[in-house]
Amino acid sequence: MTMTYLTLPHLGRRIAVGEGRTILQAALDAGIAYPHSCRSGRCGACKSRLLSGHVELARHSPFALSEEERAGGFILACRATPTQDVTVAWLDETYHAEPAVAQEAEVAAIDRMTHDILAIRLRLADRAGFRFAAGQYLSLSVPDAPPRNYSMASRPDEELVELHVRAVPCGRTSSRIHAALAQGDKVRIEGPAGSAYLREAHSGPIVALAGGSGLAPIKSIVETALHAGLDQPIHVYFGARAERDVYLVEHFRALERRFANLTFVPALSQAASDGWRSGFVSDALAADFRDLAGAKSPARPPWWTRPWRFSPHAGCRRTTSTPTCS
Ligand code: FES
C-alpha cells in the first residue's frame, strides 16, 4: 500500500494519507476540522493552496475551481488525491469549526410549515456538547432510513435544535420522517459540519438567498446576526413556486418591523397575487442588487453570505451543497 503524507503548516500537523484517500478524507479521518461542505467538488468550500507536492484532481465543477485557479496552484481538498507527499494550506483563515459529535436526541415537536415541509425540533441529550455556527448542518439518523444532512434553522444559543425537512419524492429518509416520525421519538444526530456560516466579524451588508427548505440555514444566520446586534443591512430573498410553497413569511415580516436593517423579499416564480414579487428570486435579487451597487462604491460590492456568489448579470448561485433532504 502506498502511503503519502499531508502537511498542514498552519496547524503544525503531518498526517498519513492512505492509498486512494483524498486530502479532505485524510484530514477528517485524523480529526481535523478541514473546511468543507459538499464533499463532491461542487461548492468550493474546501479550496486550498497546494504549497508543495502533487495531487490528482478528480472531476469537479469549474464553478468550485476554475482553470485559472487550478493553474495558479489551487486544489479542491475533497477531489485531490496526493500522488506524493504534499503540503497544503486551506484558504479560509476564519474557519474554526467545532468538532463533530454524535449523540441521541428526542423529537420535541413537529410543525407543518407547508404541504411538503416539516419543522422538527430536537431536544439533544447533551445540548451543551453540540456547538455550531449559524448556517451549519448536521447528519440526522432516523430508524429504518439512511442518515441525511439538514441545516439548523435555530440559533446556536437556543435550547431546541430546529430542522426543516422537505418531502423529496422517493426520498427514503424524508418520506420516513414525514410518514412516521412523531413527538417523543428517539433519533441520532452527528455534527456540526459545513463552512458556510455567519462570520460575526463582518461589518458589511449581508445578502442571503434561499429557496424552499433552504430557508433553514438562512433563518439561523439572520436571526443570529440580529440577535447579536449586527446592524448592517441584511437582505433576505426567499423564492418559491407558489404561495403554498412559502413559509415563515409572517415571521420574517415581524422581524422586518422590529429590525430596521432587515429587508425580506419573497418572490414567486408562478403567478403571484398583490404584494408579492413575481419571477425567479435570483432575478429579483439581481435587479435590486444593481440598485444597491449603485448606492455603494462599485469597487467594493456588498458582502454576501458565503454560500452564495453573486454576479449582477448572471444572477445568484448557491455554492454549497444544500443538505440533501432525501
Ligand atoms: S468542493 Fe470540496 S467540499 Fe465542496
The domain segmentation of the chain, as residue ranges, is 4-90, 101-193, 206-318
Q: How many Å separate Cα 129 from the centre of its chain?
A: 21
The fold of the 4-90 domain, in CATH, is Ubiquitin-like (UB roll) (3.10.20)
Q: What is the pLDDT at residue 282?
A: 80
* CA of 305 relative to ligand 1 center, distance in Å: 17
CA 73 – ligand 1 centroid, Å:
16
The predicted pLDDT at position 295 comes to: 31
Question: Measured from the CB, is residue 196 less than 6 Å from ligand 1?
Answer: no
Residues of the chain with pLDDT under 70: 1, 92-97, 271-274, 290-326
| pLDDT for the residue numbered 312 | 30
Contact between 4 and 85 under an 8 Å Cβ cutoff? The reply is yes
135-161 core/surface letters (b: 16 or more CB in 10 A; e: else): bbbbbbbbeebeebbbbbbbbbebeeb
22: closest CA among 37, 4, 38? 4
Ligand 1 mean position to 169 CA, how many Å? 26
Residue 130: name the closest of 193, 46, 181, 195 by CA.
193
How much is the pLDDT for 206?
87
pTM above 0.85, yes or no: no
Instruction: Assign domain 101-193 to a CATH class.
Output: mainly beta
In eight-state DSSP terms, residue 152 is B
- Does the C-beta of 41 come closer than 6 Å to ligand 1? yes
- Residue 1 burial (CB count, 10 A): 5
Q: Ligand 1 mean position to 113 CA, how many Å?
A: 30
- The answer, yes or no, to whether any atom of ligand 1 lies below 6 A from the CB of 322, is no
Residue with cell 461542505: 37
Look at residue 63 in the predicted model and tell me its pLDDT. Answer: 84
**CA atoms of 77 and 22, how far apart (whole Å):** 7
Between the CA of 76 and the centroid of ligand 1 the distance, in Å, is: 6
Pocket lining: 45 vs ligand 1, CB cutoff 6 Å: yes
Ligand 1 center–CA 42 separation, angstroms: 6
d(CA 195, CA 93): 11
Omega prior to 192 cis, within 30 of 0: yes
CB atoms within 10 A of CB 22: 25
The response to whether residue 38 sits with its C-beta less than 6 Å from ligand 1 reads: yes
Q: Are 128 and 83 in contact (CB under 8 A)?
A: no
What's domain 206-318's architecture? 3-Layer(aba) Sandwich (3.40)
Closest ligand 1 atom to Cα of 46? 2
